[in-house]
Amino acid sequence: MENHHQLRDKISSWLKAHRCKGTHLLQKLVQAKSTQGNEAGAQKIVIDTLTAMGLNIDVWDPEGKELQTHPYFASSKVDFHGSPNVVGVLKGKGNGRSIILNGHIDVVPAGDREQWDDDPYSGKVKDGKMFGRGVTDMKGGNVSMLLAIQAIQALNIPLKGNLIFESVIEEESGGTGTLASIERGYKADAAIIPEPTNMKIFPKQQGSMWFRIFVKGRSAHGGTRYEGISAIEKSMIVVNHILNLEKERNSRITDPLYEKIPIPIPINIGKIEGGEWPSSVCDLVQIEGRMGVSPEETMEEAKAEMEQWVRKLGELDSWFKQTPLKIEWFGARWLPGSIPTSHQLVSSLAKNYQLVLKKEPIVEASPWGTDGGLLTKVGETPSVVFGPGVTEKAHFPNEYIELDKVFVTAEIIALTVIDWCGIAETQ
């Protein structure tokens, strides 16, 4: 059998030869506008691709009614009919470690059309970049995985372990697609998720969950506002108090993976709304935010800390003793994920990154949750996040990806899969 460097050259050549085909596949996927509820078109392209590759294909619409009783179900939707999950399996020759390559097919909405220079689903290529909603988060990563598998197949490299490719729905809304795959039995010895990491390696991922706080006041006419209690003024105390909790929680983080991150687990207050009339004292403010959850804690621990912290408001202002805050946990939720930096999948990714790019990779903790939390904690499949997309452009207008990185990532993933699953002796 040839050595690792020869293998690398062959994969690299194959990818170069198939650059047009890979770019075209990515473009078709972007143009298939797979926002929540509209994933079927893009999944059809994935199915056709997997069929051509000869994988064992499993396509099913996740059954919300069953999944909603799962303790880690976190979607506001229950009906996923018409939104299929797609899994393709490349069976190994045996006696090797299995791997899951997981990517989500759903994309967030394009948002304000005015802020896009082109049609948000154009898939237009310019200066080596492809533009469009979802190209970076994370169809580019999905194409890297497909190209990696195709290269391994084309070069007739017989893997020992099973390779499971997953194209899942609902990552952007709480992970129902990956949860459904786990529940259907898809587990492995490790997983790679090529979310847009700027090609950084993330063995840890911050989890997060959404909260909603109701701050009460007492109404009065604005002209005699001293007869009321302004929920807007009270909510300022609440916001400050929560920012202090963020400080407190982050002061405890000592993991070197967070060394360069100003706030490892932020609490973001993203939305505020209160009052109905300029001339009335506002009697109710609603605050919505996202609490970052450290890979070292459970969601339950983080929730409990927040709930206990807001109960302390009564010590700062007696108004909160009379009218305690109401806090709700709602909507999306992403489990934190963590595998040791010393995990062999991390070492292998780092080694192949170095081999391909001739420089040290950055190994960090991710500032956001992915399906990696579910895979690691619920699916017992240690997961690492590493992908070609541009972190800063995810969810933003004029989202793009650098096409070179899609192919370089494909190369690194192919080499890592080979390392991980092992090559069977050819007879």
What are the residue numbers of the active site? 106, 171
Q: Which residues lie closer than 8 Å to 45 by C-beta, 6 or more apart? A: 25, 28, 29, 32
DSSP-derived secondary structure for 352-369: HHHHHHSSPPPEEEESS-
Residue 331 or 422: the one with the smaller Cβ distance to a second copy is 331
Q: Which residue has the tokens 């994370």?
A: 138
Residue 96 or 217: the one with the smaller Cβ distance to a second copy is 217
Q: Tell me which residue of 299, 105, 85 sits closest to 186, measured CA to CA.
A: 85
Q: Which residues lie closer than 8 Å to 95 by C-beta, 6 or more apart? A: 160, 422, 424
Residue 7 or 282: the one with the smaller Cβ distance to a second copy is 282
User: Where do contacts with a second copy occur on this chain (CB under 8 A)?
Assistant: 206, 208, 210-212, 221-227, 230, 232-233, 235-236, 239-240, 243, 262-263, 266, 268-282, 285, 288-290, 292, 331-332, 366-369, 391-392, 394-395
**Least separation in angstroms between CB 16 and a second copy:** 34
**Least separation in angstroms between CB 197 and a second copy:** 12
Q: Which DSSP helix (H) or strand (E) runs through 384?
A: strand 383-385
**Least separation in angstroms between CB 189 and a second copy:** 28
Residue 172 or 411: the one with the smaller Cβ distance to a second copy is 172
Token readout for 75 is: 């979607």
Q: How far apart are CA 89 and CA 81, in angstroms?
A: 23
**Least separation in angstroms between CB 194 and a second copy:** 18
Q: Which residue has the tokens 């310019």?
A: 126
**Least separation in angstroms between CB 104 and a second copy:** 16
Cβ atoms < 10 Å from Cβ of 416: 25
Q: Which DSSP helix (H) or strand (E) runs through 192?
A: strand 191-193
Q: Which DSSP helix (H) or strand (E) runs through 327?
A: strand 326-334
Residue 173 or 178: the one with the smaller Cβ distance to a second copy is 173
The rounded radius of gyration (Å) of the Cα atoms in the chain is 24
